[in-house]
Structure 1
Amino acid sequence: MCYRKGISMAQVTEFSVSDVIQFMTQNDLELYKRSGSAASLVQRVEYKNVRTNLKYKKGVVFVSPTKEDLQEGIGYIVTSYETLNQQYNDLSHWTPNTFRYGTYYNFKKRIIKGHTKDNLKQINVIGFDIDTKKVDPYEIFLTCDEVGLPRPNIVLETPKGYQGFFVLETPFFIHAKEDYKALRVAERVSENMLNGLKKSLPIDLNCNPFGFFRMPADSNIIFFDDQPVNTNQLISWSISHEKEERKNKFRVIYGGAANAEALDYTSSDWYKALINAVEIGSGHLGAGRNNALYTLALANYASEKPFEEAYDELDQFNSNLKKPLSKREFEKTIKSAYSGRRAGPKRTYVDGLLQLWTDGSATFSGRNGWYKFKKNREDRVRSHYDERESDLVEYLKAHISATNPYFEGSLKTLAEEVGMALSTLKEVLKRSKLIVKKVIGRGRNAVTKYTTKSILFKHLLVLKQARRDLVQLSAFTSPGHKDKLKDKTALINLDREIEAIEAFEDGDIIPGNSPPTIKYIS
């Protein structure tokens, strides 16, 4: 079965599940099976000749037939697209990110081994899981737009919800000799992305973004776009997101200055004294190695130092200690400091560390107290219209559906039904980014209907399914049959409707009054 990409009709291309699988794994598997391949000898020889010129080794993925098998650790190691193409409809889960190798704890029982992050070969996708059907699929795209992220390339429907995937234009290539730096960057980027989406979506933060996900199949792909996400832009977004998150937290104020700039703790005398102390040991309650590292990391976090910069500096600090922390404990501590749960170093801890491990000449200097900024008038006005918009969206959702997606009626009637002033309704519609207006006809004979973006997206899925069903049905109708012409006419009408909605989705909006308008001329 094929799926139409989520773009305008002028660019529509057909894609198979095999295309989706190969796109997600960045062509990092072998094309054919090592043995028992159905490919011809000529095809295999040609492919072998091409592979001979490639210096790098291909990766592997792990698959499991059912969720219950996966929970028991039962699965298989797959090295080729030929195998996946033959079996994807019989598989429940897989790892779209590829690993260096795979083996078995118990070959007879197929207990798989090797799907750990230190064995990752490359990170091709960043995935997320929504474990509820109460979310409209379009809300995923809307949330991405709101937080400044690109839309996911693939959305799958699962038994309990949805899974989405951002396919990276340039994968993160993982190397142990580089101390897994690319993995740390990928983890930080994915963590920020999921936290950003979490603001409006019930994202399962316990789901490993580089682990097992549902296998794409004929029955579960509801959206596919083969334009990968720019990796550098994601990294830039992640950095900006962290800075914005820090600004939105309670701000530490020193000397009562409500608009004071952020202190650079890393330039202070106490920070320099502490980071140069090499005698710091363990066994001192609240003033040992872990607390010293945590305090220094918090100082970097509060000073808005990038995670990688802090990691490198504090890694050197740990190495200089006579009894350094293990790498695992070191990374756990610095990640905890950068989690955002603490705004900065605490004076009592700093004083204790300085007293115990330095000559005492340096003292803590920083801000005391907390300050929360009051919303300005513009934000309060925006909040008012957001609430009214939410009321209007809820009313529309109660009176429309994916099969009948448009509300028809005068603005006066709509205002009375929703319970708001006509002037307020007009202003809400003017500002709205969630409501869509459909205009049919011209002039006095024009008919205006309203819907929401989420319902419009659901309607698009209904239309696409109807188109697929019609194409399949038409294939069994003889060329001269009278229903053949009816099918052709119906297909043209469906394509026309789909084209208009997808053009709107791509931002190709026909000019008109706010809210955004899809215009049909009958």
Structure 2
Amino acid sequence: MSVTEKLSYKSWSAISLILHNGLKKYKPKNSKLVQLNQEVHNDNKTGSIAVFRNKSSMSRDMGFVVTSEEALIENIETLTHWTPNTFNWLGYDNSRKHIKGHSERNLSQINAFVVDIDFKDALDRDRNLNLVNSSIVLDDHILPTLVLKTDKGYQIYYILDRPAFLSKHKNGSMPVLSAARKISENIKSTIMEKIPATDVGCNSFGIFRIPREDNIIFLNQN
């Protein structure tokens, strides 16, 4: 099974660019990509992301945990939302229906800053596309890597060239997380000055739309 058999080149390019190799390449068990006589080489990666099949499930944390690119590819055609930033671990509650562990302090690496712009409806979204295009270039030279169209707006991905890895100091502080929060807040407040529909209150490192062929309207890997 090749990547292109499951999703478009554009979609996987965006997803792979965001993940920064934060997941295992293959499923540790029952891999369909590794031959029986081959050893699974995953470089000891232990990152996890959460994925969801629709917005309703996302709002109730009723998704499932993915720890490998192979598992993500197998399910990609039915997914709508994900956590683009990687966590140390994710699990389920006692009912095994709800995902737990996707808190900021459990992040292992920050791959992207995402801005959510939500207009009143799809018509208003389309009317404001030119405004969005002119407002998401930061300091007149920092372009987003990816722009996705949502039901009523857009999600803007500023993907890092290299992931920011998080660690906790002995006193419990996480300087990288603190710095990332400030950067995210500055990005959102800058865009909100031109687009009041910018959601400055959403979790900067939470759940967002997953790149798909039908929602990518801009992708510049450079």
Q: 1:102 aligns with which of 78, 87, 90?
A: 90
Q: Equivalent residue for 1:517?
A: none
SS of equivalent to 1:41: coil
Q: Equivalent residue for 1:118?
A: 105
Q: 1:32 to 1:72 in 2, by over 3 A?
A: same
The separation in 2 between residues aligned to 1:137 and 1:153, in whole angstroms, is 17
Q: Equivalent residue for 1:156?
A: 148
Shift of 1:19: 2.1
The separation in 2 between residues aligned to 1:16 and 1:66, in whole angstroms, is 21
Match runs of 1:47-196 below 5 Å: 48=41, 51=42, 54=43, 57-108=45-96, 110-132=97-119, 133-134=125-126, 136-145=128-137, 147-148=139-140, 150-177=142-169, 179-196=173-190
Output the amino acid matched with 2:182: R
TM-score (norm 2): 0.85
Output the amino acid matched with 1:218: E
For the 8 Å contact 2:85–2:205, the answer to whether it is kept is: yes
Q: 1:213 aligns with which of 182, 194, 208?
A: 208
Count of residues paired in the alignment:
209
Q: 1:100 to 1:196 in 2, by over 3 A?
A: same
Unaligned runs of 5+ in 1: 3-13, 228-522
For the 8 Å contact 1:99–1:115, the answer to whether it is kept is: yes
Higher relative contact order (CA 8 A, sep 6+): 2
The separation in 2 between residues aligned to 1:21 and 1:67, in whole angstroms, is 19
Output the amino acid matched with 2:155: Q
Shift of 1:135: 5.1
The separation in 1 between residues aligned to 2:130 and 2:220, in whole angstroms, is 14
Q: Equivalent residue for 1:417?
A: none
For the 8 Å contact 1:141–1:151, the answer to whether it is kept is: no
For the 8 Å contact 1:88–1:216, the answer to whether it is kept is: no
Shift of 1:190: 0.8
Q: Which has the higher strand share?
A: 2
TM-superposition CA deviations, 1:455-508 (whole Å, max 9, x none)? xxxxxxxxxxxxxxxxxxxxxxxxxxxxxxxxxxxxxxxxxxxxxxxxxxxxxx
Q: Equivalent residue for 1:38?
A: 32
The separation in 2 between residues aligned to 1:42 and 1:169, in whole angstroms, is 36
TM-superposition CA deviations, 1:258-297 (whole Å, max 9, x none)? xxxxxxxxxxxxxxxxxxxxxxxxxxxxxxxxxxxxxxxx
Q: 1:43 to 1:170 in 2, by over 3 A?
A: farther
SS of equivalent to 1:88: helix
Shift of 1:138: 4.1
For the 8 Å contact 1:29–1:59, the answer to whether it is kept is: yes
Output the amino acid matched with 2:55: K
Shift of 1:149: 5.2
TM-score (norm 1): 0.38
> Whose radius of gyration is greater, 1 or 2?
1
Shift of 1:35: 1.9
Q: 1:146 to 1:18 in 2, by over 3 A?
A: closer
Shift of 1:76: 0.5
For the 8 Å contact 1:32–1:81, the answer to whether it is kept is: yes
Shift of 1:118: 0.7
Q: Equivalent residue for 1:376?
A: none
* Identical pairs, percent: 32
The separation in 2 between residues aligned to 1:63 and 1:146, in whole angstroms, is 29
Unaligned runs of 5+ in 2: 120-124
Shift of 1:146: 6.3
Q: Which has the higher helix share?
A: 1
Q: 1:147 to 1:200 in 2, by over 3 A?
A: farther
Output the amino acid matched with 1:156: L
Output the amino acid matched with 1:69: S
The separation in 2 between residues aligned to 1:225 and 1:195, in whole angstroms, is 23
Shift of 1:36: 2.2
Q: 1:31 to 1:20 in 2, by over 3 A?
A: same
Output the amino acid matched with 1:170: R
For the 8 Å contact 1:154–1:223, the answer to whether it is kept is: yes
